[in-house]
Amino acid sequence: MGRLPGRLWRGATALGLAALLVAGVAAAARAAGPSLAVDRQRVELSVAPGESQDVRLNVSYQGAESGVLEVQVHDFDTLTDGSFRLLEPAGWSAPSTWIQLAAVSLPLQAEQPTPLRFRVQPASGTPPGDYGALLLLQLQQPPGGGVVIQPQLAVRVYTRVAGAVFRRGYVSWLAAPAFVDLEMVRLSAHLVNTGSAMLDGAGALRTGPVPLGPLALGQPSPPGRQAPASAVMPNEDRDLAFTWEPPGYGLYWLELDAHDADVSAGLSSWVLVAPWRAFVLGALVLPGLWILSGQRGARLRESARVRLIALLGGEDRRPRDQS
Amino acid sequence: MLRRLVGATLLLLASVLAVVWWTPVVDAESTQGMTVTGTVSAQTGMTLDATSVALPAGAPGSAVTSTSQTCVTIATNTGQTWALAFRAGTANFTSSGGGSFPTTQLRWRIVGQQNFTAVSSTGNVATDQVGKDVCLDFQLVYPADAPAGDYSASFNMILS
């Protein structure tokens, strides 16, 4: 009888080790899939119309001994949540036509970075401004049945066609909670770019007369969903999410401005930072203590009265508090 | 008795709220800071644990669900935010016999979610957990008029 717990213990240990082994094998199997990485997911360059610039990216691959990378170039626009949508080719003036790939498919060797080269040459006569195109990097897959899933990396290529670009834009809304405690506050806003230059990932959040310094637009607010840190291109609009930590209690005036001085058009919002949780706790604790102390006080007074009457030889005929 | 109960309840409620509000919470965002120095090169990439999903056979008009998950792991040392999208790569499922039906018949979901979402051209699987698996499973609804055959289609898991 005394040996049974020992056996049980050994059995449980064996089961645990087996479970760990299975989990390890599963983890190893999971890590065995193809892996694709790139050293830059965003390329920015400035080129005069008619001139060109060469770019090199490094692609890393892990998986089978060798693989083949396919590269496609697309025009795209960015949706308000930060994801992109591929556009149909829009003729010779489309930014995707400015990109000449050195090769549309590249042999990859596992564990060895492979250079991906391309040239960017804006069409002559292109108006000054910022333009974007998208490189889609994809592992060539052997044909298979059922649902075949291909890993793809999207690299944004932003080209500034040199000249007199102008910045214009506005914040169409700024959402902030009206009443918070000393905690990380999630804010959101919507930025519309009506100029010819990209509005990049920086801005300023001001509180009252005191600026709080630079703020990364698009900086994710935990644990919300993240949009890629991409620029808001001309004719695009974007939902922005960011966080702010109040420095102390008080009434704050928040104002969001885009980064550039000529793209002010900030919106403002009032936020009251107060220890509201402490107020709520006080509203619960104080009445609770008051009620309980009143109960105890009543019992003590009753007890003293009974003792006094007994001392004086009298008789208490009042019903006693049974609580 | 009732007053004592009310008083005790108020204090108990206050205690619970105090524990809930002031229990330290590890802020995942605050642990992501990373200073890259020297020769560490920037890398942003994704790993798929499998590139093919076999779905069970089914009668026309029936729905079948994948028996395994497909997981993707995102790794990045650039500090940039990112988004993941699961999108149709081809317009149709096709069979060698010439049959076809739209890829929108496939639905996907992040494992743990209740509802499947139809595949679209912009489907966003955005999540904020670098280094943690995002696992999907699938449901395919065979159209009632689909000819018999083995169908296949291509989809893209896009990191941007």
Residue A24's pLDDT is 43
User: B113 exposed, middle or buried (CB, 10 Å; 0-12, 13-18, 19+)?
Assistant: exposed
Q: What is the ipTM of this complex?
A: 0.70
| CA gap A152, A161 in Å, rounded | 28
Any A CB within 8 A of B105 CB: no
| CA gap B56, B65 in Å, rounded | 7
Residue A205's pLDDT is 53
Residue A20's pLDDT is 46
For residue B150 the two structure tokens come to 């083995």
Contact between chains at B47 and A35 (C-beta distance less than 8 A) = yes
Half-sphere exposure of A113 (CA within 13 A, CB side): 16
Select from A68, A77, A147 the residue whose CB has the most chain B CBs within 10 Å, as the one to mutate to test that interface: A147
pLDDT band at B126 (very low <50, low <70, confident <90, very high): low
Whether A211 shows a pLDDT value over 50: the answer reads: no
- Whole-number Cα distances in Å, A112 to A207, A284, A317, B134: 50, 65, 99, 26
Backbone angles phi, psi at A223, to 5 degrees: -100, 35
Q: Using one digit for the tens of pLDDT, what is the confidence trace for A171-203?
A: 788 788 888 888 777 777 787 888 888 876 445
From chain A, pick out residues whose CB is under 8 angstroms from the CB of B48.
Answer: 33-35, 149, 151
* Chains A–B, number of C-beta pairs less than 8 Å apart: 214
Candidates B47, B45, B42; CA nearest to B78 is: B42
From chain B, pick out residues whose CB is under 8 angstroms from the CB of A217.
Answer: none
Q: Smallest Cβ distance to A220: which of B48, B55, B128?
A: B128
Contact between chains at B11 and A227 (C-beta distance less than 8 A) = no
The distance from CA A57 to its chain's CA centroid, rounded to whole angstroms, is 26
For A280, the closest chain B residue by CA position comes to B14
- Whole-number Cα distances in Å, A78 to A237, A319, B77, B119, B130: 8, 80, 23, 19, 22
From chain A, pick out residues whose CB is under 8 angstroms from the CB of B16.
Answer: none
Q: Using one digit for the tens of pLDDT, what is the confidence trace for A81-120?
A: 667 888 877 776 789 999 999 999 999 998 889 999 999 9
Residue A271's pLDDT is 78
End-to-end CA distance of chain B: 64
Residue B52's pLDDT is 86
Contact between chains at A149 and B157 (C-beta distance less than 8 A) = yes
